[in-house]
Structures are given as C-alpha cells and as structure tokens.
Amino acid sequence: MTTNGQRSLAERLTGIDEIDCITPDLNGVPRGKVMTAEGFLEGRRLQMARGVLLQCIMGGYPPARFYGSDDGDLALVADPGQIHRLPWSDEPRALAICDANELSGESSGLSTRGQLKAVIARYVALGLAPVVATELEFFVFAANSDPTQPFQPPVGLDGRREDGHSAFSISSNNGLRPFFSEVYRCMEALGLPRDTFMHEMGVSQFEINLLHGDPLLLADQTLLFKHLLKEVALKHGMSVVCMAKPLAKTPGSSMHIHQSVVQIDSGRNVFSDANGQPTPTFYHFIGGQQACMADFTALFAPNVNSYQRLCHPYASPNNACWSEDNRAAGLRIPASAPVARRVENRLPGADTNPYLAIAASLAAGLYGIEQQLQPAAAIQGEFEVPEHLSLPCTLHAALERLKRSTLARELFGVEFIEGYIASKTLELTSFFDEITPWERRVLAAQA
C-alpha cells in the first residue's frame, strides 16, 4: 500500500518514463544513471562505481587506489525534496539529485554533497545553523563548434555582436530576451527563487543572485541552475559558459558565497549582538576563514583557468584580507543591517563545485569559531596584501599547499583530500601536455 507521499510523487511523475538520477562529482558535474520511472517509484536500489566521483574534467580517472582498488559500487539515494520534472525537455522527463552512499548506508567520503551535509551537521551539534546565498556569474555566447577559436557573443537584434559596453544595461538589443524568459520559466517550475539579475562587466556576461537559505538547498539550487542554463541555451542555439575566465582582457566569472550563522532555537544572527554590534563569534568566523583560505584555495579555484580570473585582482581578489564593503578584499563584509550581517567569500569562481566551495568556506568559519581565532586587522581603501594573507596564484601552487595541509585532512578526511589531489594533478598534467597559441606565436621565433 502506498503512502500519501508516494502517491503524490507518482502523480508528479505521471507520463514520465525515465528519470536522470544524478549526484555531483568532484568538479560539481552531474554524474549518474538514467532509471525507469517504474523502478524509481518501486524503490529499486541504483548503484554506481565509486571512481565516478573522482572523474577528471577530461573524463579520465586517477589510479584505483584512490577510490578503492576494487572500484566497488555506491548507492545513489534520491533526496525526496530534489525530484523535479524537467521543464525545458520536449519529452516528459525528470531529474533526481541523489546522495552517494556506501552500500552499508553511510555517506561516501568521496561525495561532495556528503561533505557539505557533514559540515552542516557539525554546526547543528552546536545549536547553530549556517545560512548562505550564492551569486553566480556566467557568459552567454554564440554556438562555438571550434574550441581553437575564441568565444563570441550572440548576434544582437541590430545585427551586431556586443562589444563590452553593456554593463548594467537592461536593453533587449542583445536579443536574449527569449532565452532568459525560458530560463525564468524553468526556474519557477523547479522552485528556484531568484533575487536580483543583471548584466555584468564582461561581454555578454550576466549575474544572478539566489535567495539565501539552507546551505545544502543553495548548493542543490546552484547545481540545478547551472544545468538548466546550459540545457536552455542549447535549445536557443547558444552556449552558456561557466568557466572562471573564458575571454581574455575581460572580467572573469565568480560564485561569491554570502555566509551567516543563526541560533537554531531563536533564529538570531550570531554575528550581531543585542545592540547591533559585531560579536566575538563574527570575528572568530573571519579568523577561521583567514586561517584556512590558503590551504583551501585549490578547493575554491579548482582549475587551471581559475587563476586566469584571479591574476587581475580588482573584483577577483586572490587574498585572505577582510574589509567592510571593499571589493578588493577576499573576505568582504557587505553593508547591511545588523540582522543581515554576513561574510562574503569572494574567492570562488563560477567553475567551482558549489557543494565543495560552500562546505570548505563554512568549515573554515566553524574552525575559527571552535578555536576562537582572531582575524588580522581589517583593511580599507587601496592596500598592499601582506605576505601572510596572500594565496597561491597557480593550480600547481594551490595543490602543493593542499598536499601539506593537515587541517584539510582533518576536516574532509584523508580519502577525499588525497583523491582530490590525485584527480586535479591529472588535469594539470593534461593541460601541460598541450602547447598554447601564445607560446607558438611569441616564443617560436625568439627562443
């Protein structure tokens, strides 16, 4: 006999034959299997090889010792609150975000969704609940069938391509209104509330702010939003790119994380006291962020291209400084009422895994609270980054720092950190196996 909840789910999936059962891999890419709706509703166990969670961005895998020499199975267990009909699909289809659990039932140490849930649980054990919001930037380009050629913006209604003078414009000249209308419709169908939307500084670059809430929910929403962006763009003959830096001499794309912490019983923001002043907990949280950012840079900036964004520091700060409302600081305290006092981590790019970036940022803040760490002095205006607050500036340097980090292993587990390093090292090696056009153009005649 089915329960009301099961009947409700069956009704929601009426007419659907297949369900995409996905879980985020190391890079935040949805991986999984397609299951029949019949099998899904019957609760059949869906299994997937453990190694898939460490799949490189190019498609390969590190040695099997990093995910179990037998490469045994994990169980994909759907989150009941994250089962959706896909509003952009021409055929009735559904998607379920799943946890990746060991067959014995516990969360896999390789699962970034599981890592985030574990960090949240540590807050809950202290009677606290973290609250986050994400700001995701992305580019909308014309279809690009030749990866050796630069991306180009779509042709606008005037027959021209945008030239980079449209920041904060609300004009429809770019011809993207039909695309964004479908994006908004799909967001509503998926239950993705949006706050603000704008044209960003880059050529055909946009930003959307998702409403603040539970960190796991926001990570799920960010994953779904990136997925729907790409799918809807394909329908409109375009390409959405969430690289950190897809265009030269153009601002990159970030995924800033806004963070606050509330008491579970009262809902009070523990960053502000009864008089509206910053609390010791607020400063401890910042101290933890500063103490961990260098160790965790490879988690926030996971790709070679991530550091292309960070090498031009304005609005993409590669530092662990903190400041009141200064966008040159890696940790910015936005102007707000005391009830909304929060810490904005500006290091992550749009290419980051939202589960991992949020988990790492919240884990850093909690570490500071538990250890009662004090931050360095706040900075304002133009400033030089002190050496002890500078961060790795290449993927190689970031991975070397992560290798030496005992703290990262304590907070995320040896299996996860070593598997992450192994996978990212393969990606870095693959990058160095290619010679870029710059090298051929500049060095061939001179070297």
pLDDT in the model for residue 314: 57
Kindly report which listed range (129-138, 167-176, 246-255, 278-287) carries the lowest average pLDDT score.
167-176
pLDDT tens digits, one per residue of 90-143 = 999 999 999 999 999 999 999 999 999 999 999 999 999 999 999 999 999 999
Rounded to 5 degrees, what angle do the CA atoms 52, 192, 112 make?
A: 25
Q: What is the mean pLDDT of the chain?
A: 92
User: The pTM is what?
Assistant: 0.95
pLDDT at 397 over 50: yes
Contacts made by residues 279-284, CB under 8 angstroms, sequence distance 24+: 280/372, 281/369, 282/341, 282/343, 283/374, 283/375, 284/368, 284/369, 284/371, 284/372, 284/373, 284/374
Binned at pLDDT 50, 70 and 90, residue 391 comes out as very high
Instruction: Pick 120-412's CATH classification: 3.30.590.10, 3.10.20.70, 3.30.450.40, 3.10.20.30.
Output: 3.30.590.10
pLDDT in the model for residue 171: 65
189 or 200: which leads in pLDDT: 189
* CATH 3.30.420.40 at 12-106, yes or no: no
CA 117/CA 300 separation, integer angstroms: 18
435: Cβ contacts below 8 Å, ≥ 6 apart? none
pLDDT in the model for residue 176: 86
CA 154/CA 202 separation, integer angstroms: 14
Binned at pLDDT 50, 70 and 90, residue 155 comes out as confident
Phi and psi at residue 281, in whole multiples of 5°? -60, -40
The domain segmentation of the chain, as residue ranges, is 12-106, 120-412
375 or 316: which leads in pLDDT: 375
Q: Confirm whether 12-106 and 120-412 share one CATH topology.
A: no
pLDDT tens digits, one per residue of 295-307 = 999 999 999 999 9
pLDDT in the model for residue 201: 83
Quote the tokens at residue 402. 């992560």
Mean pLDDT on 222-240: 96
